[in-house]
Amino acid sequence: MKIVMLARNPNLYSHKRLKEAAEERGHELDILNTTRCTVHIASHRPEVYYNGEPCVGYDAVIPRIGASITNYGLSILRQFEMRGCWPLNESVAIGRSRDKLRSMQILAKYGIGLPLTAYANDPKQAEEIIKAVKGPPVVIKLLEGTQGIGVVLAETMSSAKSVIEAFRGANVNILVQEFIKEAGGTDIRALVVGGKVVAAMKRTGAADDFRSNLHRGGSAQLIKITPEERSTAVRAAKHMGLNVCGVDMLRSNHGPVIMEVNSSPGLEGIENATGKDIAGLIVDYIAKNAKDGKTKTKGKG
């Protein structure tokens, strides 16, 4: 099988592991810098070029699209989909996952546990939305932030209002969420592959940080999740339309609540914490499921 990965940095742990796992199984995997791909649009001939050469002959595409180039990366992925190349995660599903508000709306529709969340455009409504999520304290998030960037804990009404007004004054879209104090600065990352939780870890934030992201100095350890947590992760992946994702949950007094569904989860932390060959499981899933033209949306919105 010939696989293409859309990624800007071939030296990242996750990208190297996926390439190693593919080659160990006898597959060929090429890593293409997403920003160097170009789309050529002509009737009935959707083409993708890389450094001036056509990208042809690939059976599957692994999208590892950075948040800063989401729109451009999805346009490239859609072009592969329209060519009939099978994507590990489809463009429509990735687009949903990158928009925190849309993600929350989809999960809420299907009754999946979430922290209380509010969204408003007018900074004059700051106090109203803070009270709507039973704050303060509240967590304020950029709609398109990743890896804990653009996430603020505001502990008083005045500080929360100031942060909201500052973000909205800069025309930045934000969500305001309930602060789950009982989680104690820890969360759970469940890695879903093909509708199954294949690994899970507990992440604990640095001593002076309420965020548990490993990129921000957090630590990870193996954890046994409950059946309810497992079901929540699987349902979230299904309703988001993602074959592979990291589902981040908090343990609240009323059960697991989802903070984020990550369509390009890092593999280093969870492989080290669990000792599992996650990259191999992903490649095996691709080999079993990749079929020409099997994409549900075929690049349509």
* Domain CATH for 156: 3.30.1490.20
- Whose CA is closest to 105, among 207, 296, 258? 258
Across the range 155-182, mean pLDDT stands at 88
**pLDDT at residue 86 is higher than 90:** yes
pLDDT tens track for 1-46 = 999 999 999 999 999 999 999 999 999 999 999 999 999 887 777 8
In the chain, pLDDT over 90 holds for what percent of residues? 67
Across the range 159-186, mean pLDDT stands at 87
Q: Which of 138, 160, 179 is the last residue of a domain?
A: 179
7 and 106 in a single domain? The answer is no
127 and 256 in a single domain? The answer is no
pLDDT at residue 9 in the model: 95
* Residue 296: inside a domain: no
Q: Please name the amino acid found at residue 110.
A: Y
pLDDT at residue 184 in the model: 84
pLDDT at residue 296 in the model: 65
pLDDT at residue 209 in the model: 55
pLDDT at residue 123 in the model: 72
pLDDT at residue 301 in the model: 46
CB atoms within 10 A of CB 7: 23
136 and 204 in a single domain? The answer is no
67: pLDDT confidence band, cut at 50, 70 and 90? confident
Q: Which parts of 5-115 fold into alpha helices (H)?
A: 13-24, 70-82, 91-98, 100-109
* Residue 206: inside a domain: yes
In the chain, pLDDT over 70 holds for what percent of residues? 90
* Residue 294: inside a domain: no
Q: Which of 135, 156, 179 is the last residue of a domain?
A: 179
170 and 255 in a single domain? The answer is no
134 and 107 in a single domain? The answer is no
- Mean pLDDT for all residues in the chain: 89
Return the percent helix, strand and coil in the chain, to nearest 5.
Answer: 35, 25, 35
pLDDT at residue 42 in the model: 78
* Residue 301: inside a domain: no
Residues in the chain: 301
* Residue 174: inside a domain: yes
Q: To 10 degrees, what angle do helices 91-98 and 70-82 make?
A: 160
Among 77-86, 135-144, 199-208, 225-234, name the one with the lowest average pLDDT. Answer: 199-208
Among 95-109, 127-141, 165-179, 231-245, name the one with the lowest average pLDDT. Answer: 165-179
73 and 143 in a single domain? The answer is no
Dihedral sign (CA 133, 138, 141, 147):
negative
Q: What CATH number does the domain containing 77 carry? A: 3.40.50.20
232 and 104 in a single domain? The answer is yes
169 and 272 in a single domain? The answer is no
153 and 252 in a single domain? The answer is no
How many domains are there within the chain?
3
222 and 258 in a single domain? The answer is yes
Q: Which of 127, 152, 179 is the last residue of a domain?
A: 179
82 and 144 in a single domain? The answer is no
100 and 223 in a single domain? The answer is yes
pLDDT at residue 169 in the model: 80
**pLDDT at residue 185 is higher than 90:** no
236: pLDDT confidence band, cut at 50, 70 and 90? very high
pLDDT at residue 148 in the model: 56
Contact 133, 116 (CB under 8 A): yes
* Residue 45: inside a domain: yes
Q: Which domain holds residue 81?
A: 2-89+285-289
Contact 73, 66 (CB under 8 A): yes
